[in-house]
Amino acid sequence: MYRGLVFLSLLYFTLWAKPVVRIVQVRTHNFPMVMAELTVGEILPYEHLTKENFRLSEDGRAVENFSLTTQKVAKEPLRMILVLDTSRSIRPAHFKEEIKSAIAFVKAKGEKDLVGIISFDDRPRLVADYSYDGERLAQNLKKVKQGGRHTAIYDALLFAFQKIEEGRKRFGDGRDAIIIFTDGREETSLIKMDDLVQRVERLQVPVFVAGTGHRQKLKALTRLAKLSGGEAYHAASFQDLKKIFQLLQVIFQTNYIISYESKAEFRADKTQSELLVQIVLPDASGKTYTEEDRYFFYIPELKKPIPVIEKSPLIMPWDIRYLFFLTGLSVLLLLVVIYLLLRHRKRTQESSLPPVEVEQSSPREKKAEAVKPSQILPPTLQAYLVEKEGPHAGRRYRIGQSPIKLGSSQESDIVIQDGAVSLRHAMIEYRDGHFILYDLISENGTYLNGKKLLRPKRLHDFDEIQLGLTKFIFRYG
């Protein structure tokens, strides 16, 4: 196996220049403790470095106290999202090799590693959610088929970032990685590369690219991988994908972990801190040389403790609790007095009015006035939305007389977990016997039956509504 890895690594170095040291990920969930994961190597990773080989500095200040270990010792589990290109731009023989290599990868993963799988052609699809079971993941991969004439790489990567966020909410912070296999052909994505760069900077998750085909098509993905702390690998053919998988497994298992206490503080004018890692290594002649890598990470904003007010007999002779009690009691008594005065004034005004004769209505008129059809939603006009495509495909949302707001905000009536959906994206309102769809000046627009909504439109049965990458079907019933 190592013979094949050496060959693949030599090919990789010929096509993509790789530094000796690379910071893969920085985690700050236990801030001020900072944990940096890095890989060191020229062809294969160096596995026997000690603390004396490393130099650290944060914002130009040397860090003397830090700990060093490796993943082989720590055995920290890894959460991965595999993103597989299944479009028709890939030849059938190459597609079979891609699936075969992915199956070998999930079967060889660590026992505590979590893997999720996404496929994409003209749109992304969830093949398998996070799972520890390598055999189950392999069975799901065997069911993946080629389809679609176009490719939406950026939309698939956005979906992968959303799964990473979901994994952090479900399992807590930890090691994350995204691995994408593609020929680099991008055609139909709604998402732009700048949107993905913003996600990388916010989530700080490394992206590893295994690409085939022309290198020019992989240029944008290579830039994204470098920015994220990951890497881009180019295989001469799809037969080399298995070797890339093996190389990634070795890298994930031999990464170094550096932990230290940060002195950085969050300020309005300083939200990021620079970590510099240097390594000192011997060369062939016995002399030493230094390599380095830099990584900018976001400084968490720590909540400041509420200051405790000490009691002083010179300033406040009473216990502060009694002061709060008396203040609250005074406000309550004032409100009661105001209520009684308003009530007395109302009774005085009513008693001063002349008596009013009320004209008696006939029983038929009373029955006609009892119910106003315009005030009640007819049973035949009850409606609902069915999520056709999205994070909760198949879910139904009932719509009544009250306006229904759709968006990614938790305050929305229908919360859509889609990165392309605005906080307040769209609204459905019942008016004059019909349901009307509005776009709330969303960033990516609202689409009705494939056309962008430029003004409010009346909804009909089986209309398709699209917000970001999520689609709904409107139904009466």
pLDDT digits (tens, 9 = 90+) for 334-353: 998 898 888 877 676 655 54
| Segment 98-126 mean pLDDT | 89
pLDDT at position 327: 84
pLDDT tens sequence across 270-326:
778 888 888 887 776 767 778 888 888 787 776 655 555 454 444 444 456 667 778
Burial (CB count <10 Å: 0-12, 13-18, 19+), residue 57: middle
Name the packing angle between helices 241-254 and 2-15 (round to 10°). 100
Distance, in Å, from the CA atom of 446 to the CA atom of 74, rounded to the nearest integer, reads: 48
Residue 260: strand pairing partners: 34, 66
- Distance (Å, rounded) from C-alpha 419 to C-alpha 155? 10
Residues 213 and 235 sit within 8 Å (Cβ to Cβ): no
Q: Decide if pLDDT at 427 tops 60.
A: yes
Residue 255 near residue 38 (C-beta atoms within 8 A): yes
Compute the distance between CA of residue 176 and CA of residue 20 in angstroms, rounded to an integer. 22
Residue 163's pLDDT band, with cuts at 50, 70 and 90, is: very high
Q: Which strands form 33-40's sheet, in the order they lie side by side?
A: 21-27, 33-40, 256-261, 66-70
Tokens of 111: 């026992």
pLDDT band at 13 (very low <50, low <70, confident <90, very high): very low
Residue pLDDT, tens place only, 395-416: 999 998 889 999 999 999 999 9
If pLDDT is split at 50, 70 and 90, which confidence band does 10 have?
very low
Report the pLDDT value the prediction gives residue 12, as an integer from 0 to 100.
42
Pick the residue with more confidence: 279 or 421?
A: 421
Which of these, 234, 279, 286, 284, lies nearest to 20 by C-alpha position? 279
In this predicted structure, the answer to whether residue 368 has a pLDDT above a threshold of 60 is no
Residue 159 pLDDT more than 50?
A: yes
